[in-house]
Structure 1
Amino acid sequence: MALPPDFTLLQVTPELETGGAEQTTLDVANAVIAAGGTALVATRGGRMAQKLTAEGGRLAQMPMQSKNPLVMLGNASRLVDLIRREKVDLVHVRSRAPAFSALWAAQTTKTPLVATYHGVYNAKSGLKRWYNAVMTKGDFVIANSDYTRRHVIAEHHLDPDRVVNIPRGVDLQRFEPRLIAPSRVETLRRAWGLDPTDHRVKVLLAGRLTRWKGQALLIDAVARLKRRGESNFLIILAGDDQGRRDYRAELERKISAEGLSDNVRIVGHCDDMPAAYLIADYAAAPSLEPEAFGRTAVEPQVMGRPVLAAAHGGALETVVHGETGWLVTPGDADAWTDALAQAVALPAHKRMTMGEAGRTRTRRLFSVEAMCAAYLDVYAKVLEARR
């Protein structure tokens, strides 16, 4: 089913700073442009906004990140004007706060609306459940994993036919080891202060510095590993603290107190993840809460790097235990110590075999091309149903 030749998509997302939802926004915008359409994104902006416009997308800058009711009402009015002015065919919203504005604007202009559930939102009260449910009030709901889809259907009592699973896709060109210039790897190695003669086993945890991502848990595990007499490893924590300076300081104190300054390094935000994964031997995703999908468990596998991931959420769909990596008991420091010990001790040729298995599987199941084709198919079906 094809989109109309003059199709205009408006995506609504809080910010374009960094993250899986933001990257997917850009990927889908590119797919719409490639299909001959127009791609608009209403957002506060951020470090990825320049990439959007450079690739042919158009930025509609407004405070979509705000949860202030008056600002949200103003956003709704601004979206109504934008939809009418640009003759928007379909609105796609990617977060709850802006969803209220987007839903109001879509209903006012009688424009179809779809929403992507990028995370499993906890609801400990009726009010929070009502707040989360705004993501289900449009024409269609997209979930980024089977785990998320099951949650959405059960939580909001939706017709399963209104919810589809479209796994997040990885740009196979961007994450192609053969296309990564050695100079990129060397530049990043220097930026991180890594000695090229350091042949210790390197484990990369890529993710913003926030407690639920599990950085503190991983430090606890490697402290136990070092007490066992193992020191042939370097843990690299790559991610922006996004203002959480107290948590970063807590991690730094823990590293110092455990005598791990030579074994754990916090390197900050990384703009070149393909090069980062080539530096690493393994990737770690020790999230304390289930990841709805977890691209940091998929991207390294595309690069041929085995993954140690917490055994819950989307990781159960993206990591095959013992074949492409290890699924580890969530929140259990001893279990993580054991898994790290196995990874560090694994001979290089077996590590490469595991990495190649992961690369083959993820390239087959999680390409950005397959994801975008599925998104465009949903758009076409929604437009047809409206007609």
Structure 2
Amino acid sequence: MLQVLPALVTGGVERGTVDTAKALAKAGWVSYVVSEGGPMVRELERAGAKHFTLPMASKNPLVMRRNAERLEALIRELPVDLVHVRSRAPAWSARAAARRCGVPLVTTFHNAYKAHNWFRRLWAGPMAQADHMVAISQFVADYAHQTFGVPRSIITVIARGTDLAWFDPARVYPDRIARLAQQWRLVDGLPVILLPGRLTRWKGHAVLLRALAELSRRHGKQDFIAVLSGDSQGRESYRAELEQLIAQLGLDRCVRLPGDCKDMPAAYMLADVVVSASTEPEGFGRVAVEAQAMGKPVIATDHGGARETVIPGETGWLVPPRDARALADALEVALGLDADRRLAIAERARRHVAAHFTVDAMCAAYIRVYTDLLFPADAR
């Protein structure tokens, strides 16, 4: 089994790849991964998978052609029985190599890839040209069928899995929470509103800031701390825009921009409510699921994968995109929860994640897809 992706740095695609590789090795499969490499390679190889380094993130046609030749050689030499590609750029090379070698190809749509012009449609095309396609949500599955014409008969929905051993409130010790609270300069007694996610415009930071300003006007005070935690990834001009907006809205004292957070379970433990304010639909949305796994109420935007992960009124709330007033309304409700209601939401949220969004369930579903392709029921 060979998985192909751009790199093994960080993110949902990378985490899913490593988790699947671990499960394959544990189940007795020979598991290979090809990427440009990164810090997650060590974890992958400790689990018993083998990594090969190729420039799979490149969008240079000449490099992509060479990648196809290298992948073809690997598939024949190892040998490989099935190829699974998880991103658009490497899909061009992986599809060509798999076809030449006559092995099945699986793709995973990790988002509703844009297809508003001919080039975008062409660029994502190889992801739709597989023997089987996995979608990380029903939203993505419907989009792939309607936009790229992928037959529903070859689509399987497999939600991203959350590691409940890592996102477990009982395993986050107080010293981790205290250390992060100090780093974020939190104030005792003030509730914490957390928006995790890299600093990019479509994550909706500005919508949250305007909602916070609305809350401040309603109550005549700023009795909360908001943490916008995420790496700028070189987008310093966008960070500067956010800092300017914070100043314009008079939120300097109550908003933190601490950068990347390496201990997300501790971050969720500090939060009284977790916000996902994305202005564009997310294919899945890890934040909402991780927060629920930690027993935290979630406010997410009412589109995309969030409609499948958040149960309105039970584990959180869904609000219209770009609607700061509606977000302020939901924040007011969330921050006003009494202890009993908060506990009830926490219990429902953890049960919800355990029932639908675990790593074990995700990996088992992937292995079923691979097995069905390699050993069709009518041939057994």
TM-score, structure 1 normalization: 0.94
Distance across 2 between alignment mates of 1:290 and 1:43? 27
- Given candidates 352, 359, 363, the residue that maps to 1:372 is 363
CA contact (8 A) 2:186 2:225 kept: no
Q: Does 1:217 align with 2:207?
A: yes
Moved more, 9-18 or 91-100: 9-18
Counterpart in the other structure of 2:311 = 320
Counterpart in the other structure of 1:271 = 262
Distance across 2 between alignment mates of 1:38 and 1:210? 38
Q: Once the two structures are superposed, what CA deviation does each residue of 1:20-79 show, in whole Å capped at 9, x if it has no partner? A: 111111110110011012222211123323322233332211211111111111211221
Matches within 5 A, 1:71-90: 71-90=63-82
Runs of 4+ in 1 over 6 A off after TM superposition: none
CA contact (8 A) 2:115 2:147 kept: no
Which amino acid is 2:316 matched to?
A: G
Counterpart in the other structure of 2:195 = 205
Deviation at 1:84, TM superposition (A): 2.1
Counterpart in the other structure of 1:342 = 333
Moved more, 161-170 or 231-240: 231-240
Counterpart in the other structure of 1:190 = 182
CA contact (8 A) 1:232 1:344 kept: no
Counterpart in the other structure of 2:133 = 141
CA distance 1:156–1:219, change in 2 (3 Å): same
Counterpart in the other structure of 1:283 = 274
CA distance 1:240–1:49, change in 2 (3 Å): farther
Moved more, 58-67 or 309-318: 58-67
Counterpart in the other structure of 1:181 = 173
CA contact (8 A) 1:44 1:65 kept: yes
CA contact (8 A) 2:88 2:126 kept: yes
- Given candidates 347, 356, 363, the residue that maps to 2:354 is 363
Which amino acid is 1:145 matched to?
A: S
Q: Once the two structures are superposed, what CA deviation does each residue of 1:240-288 show, in whole Å capped at 9, x if it has no partner? A: 1111111111111111222212211111112221111111111110100
Paired residue secondary structure (1:288): coil
Distance across 2 between alignment mates of 1:262 and 1:46? 37
- Given candidates 1, 4, 12, the residue that maps to 1:12 is 4
Which amino acid is 1:190 matched to?
A: Q
Q: Once the two structures are superposed, what CA deviation does each residue of 1:158-192 show, in whole Å capped at 9, x if it has no partner? A: 32110011111111111111122222222322333
Distance across 1 between alignment mates of 2:277 and 2:157? 24
Structure 1 portions without partners, runs of 5+: 1-8
Which amino acid is 2:149 matched to?
A: H
Which amino acid is 1:323 matched to?
A: E
Distance across 2 between alignment mates of 1:78 and 1:200? 56
Distance across 2 between alignment mates of 1:37 and 1:183? 40
Distance across 2 between alignment mates of 1:121 and 1:275? 32
TM-score, structure 2 normalization: 0.95
- Given candidates 44, 47, 50, the residue that maps to 1:52 is 44
Paired residue secondary structure (1:41): strand
Structure 2 portions without partners, runs of 5+: none
Deviation at 1:237, TM superposition (A): 1.2
Q: Once the two structures are superposed, what CA deviation does each residue of 1:120-142 show, in whole Å capped at 9, x if it has no partner? A: 01211233222222102121000
Deviation at 1:230, TM superposition (A): 4.3
Paired residue secondary structure (2:321): coil
Distance across 2 between alignment mates of 1:187 and 1:82? 46
Same amino acid, percent of matched pairs: 47
Distance across 2 between alignment mates of 1:303 and 1:63? 37
Distance across 2 between alignment mates of 1:51 and 1:238? 25
Counterpart in the other structure of 1:170 = 162
Paired residue secondary structure (1:209): coil
Counterpart in the other structure of 1:295 = 286
Paired residue secondary structure (1:45): coil
Deviation at 1:333, TM superposition (A): 1.1
Paired residue secondary structure (2:375): helix
- Over aligned residue pairs, what C-alpha RMSD do you find? 1.6
Moved more, 140-149 or 125-134: 125-134
Which amino acid is 1:296 matched to?
A: V
CA contact (8 A) 1:233 1:344 kept: no
CA contact (8 A) 1:26 1:52 kept: yes
Deviation at 1:328, TM superposition (A): 0.6
Counterpart in the other structure of 2:226 = 235
Moved more, 341-350 or 32-41: 341-350
- Given candidates 339, 342, 345, the residue that maps to 1:354 is 345
Which amino acid is 2:186 matched to?
A: L
Q: Once the two structures are superposed, what CA deviation does each residue of 1:332-351 show, in whole Å capped at 9, x if it has no partner? A: 11111111122222223322
Distance across 2 between alignment mates of 1:215 and 1:44? 31
Counterpart in the other structure of 1:6 = none
